[in-house]
Chains A and B, each alone.
Chain A
Amino acid sequence: MKNLSTIMLAVTAAALCLAGNAAAQDKEILVAGQCDRTGATQIVGVVICPAIQDYIDFVNSKGGIEGYKIKYYELDNEYKVPPAVEEYERQKQAGAVSIALYGTPQVQALNQKLVEDKIPGTSPGFGISASADGARFPYLFPVAATYWSQGAAAIQYFKDKSGGNLKGKKIAYVYYDNPAGHEPLPILEDLQKAEGFELRSFAVPPPGVEMGAQVIDITQRYRPDFVIDHLFGRSPSVAIKEYKRAGYPLNKVLGLVWASAEADIQAAGGWPVAEGYHTLQFAGAGDEYPVRQEIKAMYKAQGKEPPKGMMADTVIYNRGLLIAAVHTEAIRNAIKAKGGGKPTGEDVKNGLEQIHDFTLGGLFPPLKITPTDHEGGGWVQIFQVHDGKFVKETDWFRGYPEVVAAAVKKAE
């Protein structure tokens, strides 16, 4: 009998929750998000998704956006495609006006559906590079440097570092052997012709935890002047360890955006091991940004500790803030454009296309998203590992924007 009454209570409570939800729904906007907290890329997912939730809680704690509360509806796709499709349908049914996509194959699979359903999706730092072209991919928003822009920025950085001339220099491109890993290759090859450097690429087969042979090949035989690491998951840390073991100076190595988090440094054996390693970032690294302090204050006001990932992995956490902030800002633009009305997916798409000079105190680059440029410029910053933290080396810059733009155009 006791059991029965407990169940009854639970059912009543659930019913009440549902009823409460229905009443609140008029003034609530649903932002969907997919995540991977359990699959191949959980190392990123467990930090980036709570960050999105934190930012949305933060926005709500400030009274929401133009009188609307934002609800973040996250589902875990385990970095697999069929669950991602099923979850997308679920989120669509729930009434999501925008979606934070997760994973390159998932972006590929959902791209066509986004257009059909008129729901804008963001894919910062991953996804399809050609989707910077807003005319061809109207509902896909990279909102941060694509793999093409990242590759170009890496070359630009080396060029500046070696005195504006790359002629005769040797560059090694080490990449995870999957489509995302291949993606910067065409840009690098274009730049090789233009700049006259020598380029050799080294594939690391998945899962990328064994790369002793490649590193010896790079450091002992090829002896490049610079190395670009385009690796994912566990492999960036393995690479750092192997370079160290081979005695290759880490200040000649640059990790692209998914090889550049605190977790990678920790897994490689800690900050002293990785001393000198350069990282490419599309959102700022570190704790010195006003919005982070405000989120900490929000947690303090609730009498809670900020989440572990917020301090332990600032790089990934800050990217989560970028994703959330882009969505909320787009919704703000959409509501304003509608004169206070509840926005649809199409309105939010237009709102995204109006985002410009929204940097949240220097945490993000000076994004300028337009109907034709969904990448917002392709800005990056370089940070270097120094004395136990990431030290900013360059300000926001773009690498060969005209070469990337030409590639985007050619991809049609």
Chain B
Amino acid sequence: MLHRESGIFKTSYPADMALYPLPIAKWAVAAFAGLFIVIVPLTLGEYYVSILDLILIAIVGALGLNILVGYTGQISIGHGAFMSVGAYTAANLVVHLGAPFWVTIPAGGLMAALIGALVGIPSLRIKGIYLAIATLAAQLIIEWTINHVPAISGGVQASIQVPRPSLFGVQLKTQTQLYLFLMAFAVLAIVGTSNLVRSRIGRAFIAVRDQDIAAEIIGISTFRYKLWAFAISSFYAGVTGVLYTYYLGIANYEQFQITVSIDYLAMIIIGGLGSILGSILGAAFVTLLPIVTRWFLESFGGLIFSQADLANIIPNLRLILFGGLIIFFLVVEPEGLNRLWRNVRNYFRVWPFSY
């Protein structure tokens, strides 16, 4: 993560596939884990932890979407709806059966995976923009279904109250407790994805992405792997939905409308397609950018504008800045924040020499 190798000395495939190329990488990961699992929740205030909570949830969803879009080269504008599938599955399990979170989270994920695989079937025939429209249809169909089937939505309000998760009899209520809860799943998602993409399945995904005809010729079943990609990706989305449900204490499909799908696409495009670090950076970037721009305008906008005008200027200017910064980052580095970070690293790898 933060290390500088002096060269590439790998002589075997296991060495090439190793999660930690050098011992120092392991220490860096341990240091990061210590920072975020021990130091951050102990030192940061509740408000800042609540922002991190939203980022952690977004990381899980962004990783899932990146498996589909970044690694397999398919597209989905229906991830918001897959999240709602997970959310309502979990909410119904909690309300009707009193299921604990270690049942509802995999169940929500599996249900979303099932629906996602179904939606993925057209991907065998159609590609690119056509597939995008097919998944858009899924988004709308799922929204409509939840809105109109009381057995799923729990009544005309289409929202189901869900108590906060409990662990060993302790209900996780404070932001810090929820932070640790969400952190566990974000870590699972990160480790799971980084292992997935180095495995046979992950390599098959990449082969399908790079050239699906060639992949088929060398013996990869595109049928199977495209559906796997949709299923795995939707599983992540479903888990994201369940985490949202637990975090907010309610399942409500209006939280998972098409803008959410677009937000997640923005995260992985800004962060970097086909990269785990990119998903994390993108999730953090998209979540933090509006907050930071608002904070900035609140702190310094008062010097230029009156307080009453500011209330109107901040939200509008924030949208303009948000759009502008996204364009800026994409122009500066179309391959995303992950590539920017690698450029910085490569620069320092040989520093202070230029080659």
Interface residues of A (CB under 8 A from B): 10, 13-14, 17, 35, 37-38, 46, 49-50, 53, 57, 74-76, 78, 80-83, 85-86, 89-90, 92-93, 104-105, 108-109, 111-113, 116, 128, 177-179, 182-183, 185-186
Instruction: Name the contact of A78 in the complex, choosing from B54, B247, B315 (C-beta under 8 A).
Output: B315
Interchain Cβ contacts under 8 Å between A and B, 14 examples: A10-B303, A14-B303, A37-B316, A38-B315, A50-B308, A50-B311, A53-B308, A76-B315, A105-B254, A112-B248, A182-B147, A182-B156, A182-B157, A182-B158
Contact B147 A86 (CB under 8 A): no
Query: Which stretch of B34-42, B44-52, B211-219, B270-278 is in the interface?
Result: B44-52
Instruction: Name the contact of A108 in the complex, choosing from B45, B159, B259 (C-beta under 8 A).
Output: B159
Known: A38-B319, A109-B248. A89 touches B314 (CB 8 A): no
CB neighbours (8 Å) of B311 from chain A are 35, 37, 49-50, 53, 74
CB neighbours (8 Å) of B51 from chain A are 86, 89
Known: A83-B290, A85-B50, A105-B255. A38 touches B156 (CB 8 A): no
B12 at interface (Cβ–Cβ under 8 A)?
no
B302 at interface (Cβ–Cβ under 8 A)?
yes
Please encode chain B, from 166 to 189, with 1 for each CB lying within 8 Å of some chain A CB and 0 for all others.
Answer: 000000010100000000000000
Known: A89-B50, A89-B175, A92-B47. A112 touches B250 (CB 8 A): yes
CB neighbours (8 Å) of B294 from chain A are 75
Contact B249 A113 (CB under 8 A): yes
Contact A80 B303 (CB under 8 A): no
Please encode chain B, from 145 to 165, with 1 for each CB lying within 8 Å of some chain A CB and 0 for all others.
Answer: 001000000001111010010
CB neighbours (8 Å) of B156 from chain A are 179, 182-183, 185-186
Contact A50 B291 (CB under 8 A): no
In the complex the two chains form, what is the Cα distance from A128 to B159 in whole Å?
Answer: 10
Contact A86 B291 (CB under 8 A): yes
CB neighbours (8 Å) of A17 from chain B are 302
Contact A85 B315 (CB under 8 A): no
CB neighbours (8 Å) of A38 from chain B are 315-316, 318-319
CB neighbours (8 Å) of B248 from chain A are 81, 85, 109, 112
Contact A179 B159 (CB under 8 A): yes
In the complex the two chains form, what is the Cα distance from A105 to B50 in whole Å?
Answer: 19
In the complex the two chains form, what is the Cα distance from A93 to B291 in whole Å?
Answer: 15
CB neighbours (8 Å) of B250 from chain A are 108-109, 111-112
Known: A13-B303, A75-B294. A108 touches B308 (CB 8 A): no
